[in-house]
């Protein structure tokens, strides 16, 4: 009975987002039991997609104990499984997906207590299980079912697949955002907890924007930062060769921007193994190389997490399908031979 309850929980969180899916397996159930009691899992499975007040949820569940239910919902908000929003002067609660949401809130605070270490180990086990299950599924799937690309302008809302944002677009995002909170990089903090440290910076490298930033700050998962502090953090990320990955949920769940490395970020590591990384994310930009200006120094090749660049003769060329348009190669080009263009206006190759 308990396993069936947590199996239903996978359906509930996946209904919110499939960016990082919850797959029915013992590794997921073990992780879920750590953050959801059986009662909380039952509540989560009953929550409407658009959230509900404790009174509305009590009516759906056929329960008269609204006070106890509200206490459970507040406890779930405190452990990062439910987000609280204002609704007509009261509270509305919505179940979070795994990503962006539950997983980030377990680690962005940067704690090193035994519970956080245990969650890091459980996430590692689940990540391995998920990788094996997905590889087995891909091996059996027809080629026609391969995931296709979907391009959405950065200025529009992004509702499902994470987007890769170059530096200038991140700065625009910061300028138009009223409230920003930040915490440590989730993946690199997990690496520290698992004795797999990364030499890339991690402080203030995961940011939450807008009302979801206020919720996360009020519950102690992150701390507020100014726009100037956010911009300094982004500049540090650029210097370190980190990729800006944005998940915008239109103020549903968590609007998250992460500065990711290809050695620890589960998403970048996953897409780098595919033959066409640009199809696994929203990659609206692509690097264009000026052959005449290129000096052939190759420093950009070492910086690319996607192996999208290679030497061809005396110049660097780009693999259009592997380039995700992050722009970290342009930062180190000494001859300024590289710049980003909208993918629609870039030709295949260099």
What are the pLDDT digits (tens) for 32-90? 999 999 999 999 999 999 899 999 999 998 888 999 999 999 999 999 999 999 887 78
Helix (H, G, I), strand (E, B) or coil at 173: helix
Full domain range(s) for residue 295: 284-345
Q: What is the pLDDT of residue 142?
A: 63
Task: Name beta bridge partners: 93.
Answer: 52, 84
Cα angle value 156/157/161 (rounded, 5°) = 115
Residue range 298-309, pLDDT digits in tens? 999 999 999 999
- Calculate mean pLDDT across residues 106-120: 97
Q: Does residue 290 fall inside a structural domain?
A: yes
Domain count, the chain: 1
Rounded CA-CA distance 147/33 in Å is 32
- Calculate mean pLDDT across residues 320-324: 95
- Contacts (Cβ under 8 Å, ≥6 apart) of 343: 151, 278, 283, 284, 285, 286, 325
Q: Does residue 322 fall inside a structural domain?
A: yes
- Name the average pLDDT for the chain: 90
249 touches 17 (CB < 8 A): yes
Q: Does residue 304 fall inside a structural domain?
A: yes
Instruction: Specify the pairing of strand 82-87 against strand 90-95.
Output: antiparallel
Whether residue 350 has pLDDT greater than 80:
no
CB atoms inside a 10 Å sphere around CB 332: 15
Q: What is the pLDDT of residue 174?
A: 97
Q: Does residue 126 fall inside a structural domain?
A: no
In sequence order, what DSSP letters do the residues of 251-309 get, joined into one string? TSS--EEEEE-TTT-HHHHHHHTSS-GGGTSB--EEEEE-TTT-----HHHHH-TT--E
Whether residue 348 has pLDDT greater than 70:
no
Whether residue 151 has pLDDT greater than 60:
no
Rounded CA-CA distance 238/167 in Å is 8
Instruction: Return the structure tokens found at 128.
Output: 């391995």
**CATH code at position 327:** 3.30.70.20
E strand segments, 46-153: 82-87, 90-95
Q: Does residue 293 fall inside a structural domain?
A: yes
- Contacts (Cβ under 8 Å, ≥6 apart) of 103: 20, 123, 186
Q: Does residue 19 fall inside a structural domain?
A: no
Rounded CA-CA distance 213/164 in Å is 20
Give 347's pLDDT tier (boundaries 50, 70, 90): very low
């Amino acid at each position: 009975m308990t396993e069936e309850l947590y199996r239903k929980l996978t359906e509930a969180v996946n209904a919110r987002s499939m960016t990082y899916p919850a797959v029915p397996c013992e590794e997921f159930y073990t992780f879920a039991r750590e953050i959801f009691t059986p009662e909380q899992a039952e509540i989560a499975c009953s929550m409407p997609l658009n959230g509900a007040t404790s009174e509305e949820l009590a009516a759906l569940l056929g329960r008269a104990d609204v006070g106890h239910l509200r206490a459970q919902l507040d406890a779930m908000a405190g452990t990062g499984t439910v987000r609280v929003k204002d609704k007509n002067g009261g509270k509305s609660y919505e179940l979070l997906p795994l990503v962006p949401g539950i997983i980030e809130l377990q680690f962005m605070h940067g704690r090193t207590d035994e519970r956080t270490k245990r969650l890091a180990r459980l996430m590692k086990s689940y990540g391995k299980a998920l990788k094996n299950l997905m590889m087995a599924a891909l091996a059996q799937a027809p080629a026609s079912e391969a995931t296709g690309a979907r391009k959405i302008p950065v200025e529009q809302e992004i509702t499902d697949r994470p987007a890769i944002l170059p530096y200038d677009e991140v700065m625009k995002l910061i300028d138009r955002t009223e409230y920003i909170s930040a915490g440590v990089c989730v993946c690199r903090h997990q690496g520290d907890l698992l004795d797999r440290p990364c030499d890339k910076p991690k402080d203030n490298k995961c940011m939450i924007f807008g009302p979801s930033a206020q919720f996360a700050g009020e519950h102690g998962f992150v701390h507020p930062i100014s726009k100037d502090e956010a911009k300094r953090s982004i500049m540090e990320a650029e210097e370190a060769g980190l990729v800006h990955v944005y998940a915008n949920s239109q103020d549903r769940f968590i609007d998250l921007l992460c500065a990711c490395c290809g050695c620890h970020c589960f998403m970048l590591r996953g897409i780098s193994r595919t033959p066409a990384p640009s199809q696994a994310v929203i990659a609206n930009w692509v690097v264009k190389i000026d052959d005449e200006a290129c000096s052939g120094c190759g420093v950009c090749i070492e910086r690319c997490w996607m192996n999208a660049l290679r030497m061809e003769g005396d110049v660097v060329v780009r693999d259009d399908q592997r380039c995700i348009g992050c722009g970290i190669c342009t930062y180190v080009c000494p001859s300024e031979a590289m710049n980003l263009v909208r993918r629609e206006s870039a030709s295949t190759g260099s």
